[in-house]
Structure 1
């Protein structure tokens, strides 16, 4: 099993300045804050990084900034996915993968492919990717659920498909995956609220949103879960439950950016069609953080 993706990966935000250009200084600050507090790897240009409103040139700049700030301290995973298979293949072929350890590739959205269509999409990605692939199933965003049978078929058929980030918020689906997966295939939680139970059931950890704000406690929780120390881990889980719920109550990443702003790590700016968290949500977040600290 690829141990470098065990534990906590953070789905890092893309901080913006007031004029919505990329705030590279804040990005460096968030990278260092997370590495210094023990998280295990960084996922670049995922949903939380607002990948759909970032240009190709900006994406290159973000990768460069994170690579330099990271300085080979933790593994890096790059988001490359979409619902135009040929476009995804072209992006993979034209990407410089130096310093990148894997790609995270979302199951095709909007088009609503059949399970065979999803399989053929990932087969095509597998055939061109020079680095390992973590598939990403997030039916709440794609309008299409990648069923456990499809995930497991891909896991068995392609050696470079090493994991799935499963984010269906469906414990039953996680358990079917964990029950039947090949021994070296990783099931990674994409649901912060289920990350601990999934880990305790045999998962490999989480790619987390809230983890980048509370890296020390969140990583400790997941590491305790990997060590099967459930009672100690659940204490941390319960401490973070309220904030984990709050950040997803309006939209992601507006919620986590409101948290990071409260912690003076970056501004809470987001690009349309997303809007900043409401004053009501910001107030609840500020109260939680004041009490937590």
Structure 2
């Protein structure tokens, strides 16, 4: 079994996309970031991802992204797989960050479809192939058309999977369930398919998915991991119960742009200072009240917040 086949066995379950916590002065709160990673691992999270959408990478400098990856690698210390997000709208930045991930011993790199510039399918092929060819760690492509304005077609992904042995999977934040079914049909049933849509985490497992990279794991890491554990153990009823149990929380966390509701919720839990960098900001007061109400059904709220 080669290293990429080994990675396909290892990189399964709930890979939590960790937020990047900030201080009141908008600097990165590294001690809190480390505490979040320890909490996730203790809660049963199967893998850690940083500087993906939930980690606000477009609000970070390249130097900050590198330091966040370095901090995460040290905190994880090999206890669970480490899958940093290294993609950018800038090709050279993507190459640089992906090489840094390899230097840090990452188990794989999560590389987003470039956003804003809307490349063609041919250009996307050339971009991802160049990234894959620049390193020898596994690559997980990240397709999120709602935020990139470009959908990576299944045929393009299948071509990449065929031509690049280290492109081993895809995170599909794609509400088109027919599309995600065709990923495994065209790329092979051993290709790693992760759900990036919260309400598709359980259904994706049913068609042969490898797990999920779900923002909700930031709030209930144990339950999001348990969805995968229950499925893997053949307890379909339990996985289904968790799917519906988390639905109200999933819904409220996406009533504003991720990770704004998420950071508000984590602030209510006393886990972080609820700070985002502009142009992102916290949800409206009304939505924060709704988040607090829903959140109280799932977790214990921080005393100062809960008393309001």
Q: Do these two structures clear the TM 0.5 threshold for a shared fold by scoring above it?
A: yes
Give 1:93 shift: 4.1
Report if aligned partners of 1:204, 1:226 keep a CA contact under 8 Å in 2: no
| 1:292 counterpart (291, 298, 303) | 298
| 1:195 counterpart (178, 192, 201) | 201
Residue 143 of structure 2 is aligned to residue 137 of structure 1: yes
Q: Give structure 2 stretches of 5+ with no counterpart.
A: 300-308
Residue 270 of structure 2 is matched in structure 1 by: 264
Residue 260 of structure 2 is aligned to residue 233 of structure 1: no
Report if aligned partners of 1:200, 1:228 keep a CA contact under 8 Å in 2: no
Q: Distance in 2 between matches of 1:58 and 1:86?
A: 16
Change (3 A) 1:44 1:278: same
Two-structure CA RMSD over aligned residues (Å): 1.6
Give 1:96 shift: 5.8
Change (3 A) 1:292 1:87: closer
Report if aligned partners of 2:160, 2:167 keep a CA contact under 8 Å in 1: yes
Q: Distance in 1 between matches of 2:103 and 2:214?
A: 23
Give 1:177 shift: 1.2
Q: TM-score scaled by structure 1?
A: 0.95
Residue 34 of structure 2 is aligned to residue 39 of structure 1: no
Instruction: List per-residue Cα deviations over 1:143-165 (Å, max 9, x = no partner).
Output: 11111111111112211001011
Q: Distance in 2 between matches of 1:117 and 1:210?
A: 33
- Farther off after superposition, 161-170 or 78-87: 78-87
- Farther off after superposition, 173-182 or 248-257: 173-182
Change (3 A) 1:96 1:194: closer
Report if aligned partners of 1:224, 1:232 keep a CA contact under 8 Å in 2: yes
Q: Give structure 1 stretches of 5+ with no counterpart.
A: none
Residue 91 of structure 2 is aligned to residue 85 of structure 1: yes
Residue 97 of structure 1 is matched in structure 2 by: 103
Q: Distance in 2 between matches of 1:27 and 1:211?
A: 15
Report if aligned partners of 1:11, 1:207 keep a CA contact under 8 Å in 2: yes
- Farther off after superposition, 11-20 or 90-99: 90-99
Q: Distance in 1 between matches of 2:96 and 2:221?
A: 34
| 1:206 counterpart (208, 212, 232) | 212
Instruction: List per-residue Cα deviations over 1:110-137 (Å, max 9, x = no partner).
Output: 2212211111111111110231100011
Residue 166 of structure 2 is aligned to residue 160 of structure 1: yes
Residue 6 of structure 1 is matched in structure 2 by: 12
Report if aligned partners of 2:87, 2:110 keep a CA contact under 8 Å in 1: yes
| 2:122 counterpart (116, 124, 132) | 116
Q: How many equivalent pairs are there?
A: 293
Q: Distance in 2 between matches of 1:127 and 1:17?
A: 38
Q: Distance in 1 between matches of 2:97 and 2:186?
A: 32
Residue 226 of structure 2 is aligned to residue 220 of structure 1: yes
Report if aligned partners of 2:189, 2:208 keep a CA contact under 8 Å in 1: no
| 1:53 counterpart (59, 62, 68) | 59
Residue 255 of structure 2 is matched in structure 1 by: 249
- Farther off after superposition, 178-187 or 252-261: 178-187
Q: TM-score scaled by structure 2?
A: 0.90
Residue 71 of structure 2 is matched in structure 1 by: 65
